[in-house]
Amino acid sequence: MNVRTAGQFNGAPVHEIELANSAGAKIRVLTWGAVVRDFVLPTGRHIVLGFDSFDPYPIHSRSFGAIIGRFANRIADACFSLDGHTYELTRNDGGIHHLHGGAGAFGKRVWSLTDASATHVTLALDSQDGDSGYPGTMQATCTYTLTDFATLKIELSATTDRATIVNLTHHGYFNLAGQGNVGAHKLWLNASFYTPVGPDSIPTGEICPVQGTACDFTGVRDIGSSDIDINFVLNRPLASERVHPLTHAATLHAPDDALRMEVWTSEPGLQVYNGFKLDVDVPGINGERYKARSGIALETQRFPNSPNVPHFSKCTLREDEIYRQHTEYRVRAHA
């Protein structure tokens, strides 16, 4: 483990922690946003989008490698009701909806470093009652662990002193080729259904089969050049328990199939976004210019707008409960 000062944000120091495993894989984590700044395979290939230093992140990052919270994805009309009370959230999506936690987004704040070793780091963040309009004071933690050949294990947790909602996710963009766009990558999803959206990317409330649609990745196929930004319903029981065993959600194949990355998660949903809106003004890692489809985000989550759709996945967290999420991105060389 190596810890260094990477910069400052609003007068607070930002640290970077480098983890390495016995195979030679490395990840570099910023305390700002709990960001995975870099993910390097034992071969030396960099497989996530990011920048070579902290300085560009506050202005130019598109949530690269960040932990999103309190609520990932969109909440319609930036409001929800809980226990008979309606809560107004910040409207940071077109001035109408709430996106990725709003003004108090977890991915844009400095987390505390609480524990670390050669292969893991734990970060913590306190979110006060009323933060971006959310009720309750919340304590969130994120633990990154680097295992095996190149597996990034992510464990998220949260507690609250008052009933609230929560939906944390990791917003890394992956490119297994290390350069170019991801159109020639292949994708398989363990999802027979998805949640269609309206013009503002808000789910309609329907849960529809993928068969016969452009959202059908139940067979391995090219990502291609179409625009993808949709939540998939993973093939697992939707139960009331807060912790599920891990299920195989997705497999991403490099264009030459020399690398594969499996996504395993405890979550019921997977947002797939192929970065079609990316257009970053400054160079990224190793001078890469991030344009449309430079990376693909595979965000494990509760469904978008679920606080307002009773039959969507549960997202309420009460005082006597602990929110937990476990996701693993398992990268393997494929002969």
CA 329/CA 102 separation, integer angstroms: 26
Residue 126's CB: how many other CB atoms inside 10 A? 12
Q: For residue 151, what are the β-bridge partners?
A: 147, 330
Per annotation, catalytic residue among 267, 288, 299, 328:
299
Instruction: Tokens for 38, please give them.
Output: 């870099």
Segment holding 193, helix H or strand E: strand 193-195
Domains of the chain by range and CATH? 2-333 (2.70.98.10)
Q: Report the range of poorest mean pLDDT among 181-185, 244-248, 253-257, 296-300.
A: 244-248
328 is catalytic: no
Q: Which pLDDT score, from 0 to 100, does residue 288 have?
A: 95
CA 257/CA 275 separation, integer angstroms: 21
CA 25/CA 147 separation, integer angstroms: 9
How many CA atoms does the CB half-sphere of 290 hold within 13 Å?
27
CA 319/CA 35 separation, integer angstroms: 28
pTM of the model: 0.96
pLDDT single digits (tens) 220-273: 999 999 999 999 999 986 554 555 689 999 999 999 999 999 999 999 999 999
Residue 13's CB: how many other CB atoms inside 10 A? 12
The answer to whether residue 143 scores a pLDDT higher than 80 is yes
Residue 58's CB: how many other CB atoms inside 10 A? 14
The closest of 181, 121, 168, 144 to 324, measured between CA atoms, is 168
Residue 84's CB: how many other CB atoms inside 10 A? 5
- Cis bond before residue 260 (omega within 30° of 0): no
Residue 199, amino acid: P
Per annotation, catalytic residue among 171, 185, 244, 326:
171
Q: For residue 30, what are the β-bridge partners?
A: 16, 35
DSSP string over 278-323: ---SS--GGG----TTS-EEEEEESPTTGGG-TTS---EE-TT--E
CA 116/CA 34 separation, integer angstroms: 13
The answer to whether residue 319 scores a pLDDT higher than 80 is yes
Instruction: Tokens for 224, please give them.
Output: 């291609």
CA 96/CA 79 separation, integer angstroms: 10
Q: Report the range of poorest mean pLDDT among 125-139, 236-250, 255-269, 280-294.
A: 236-250
CA 195/CA 116 separation, integer angstroms: 38
299 is catalytic: yes
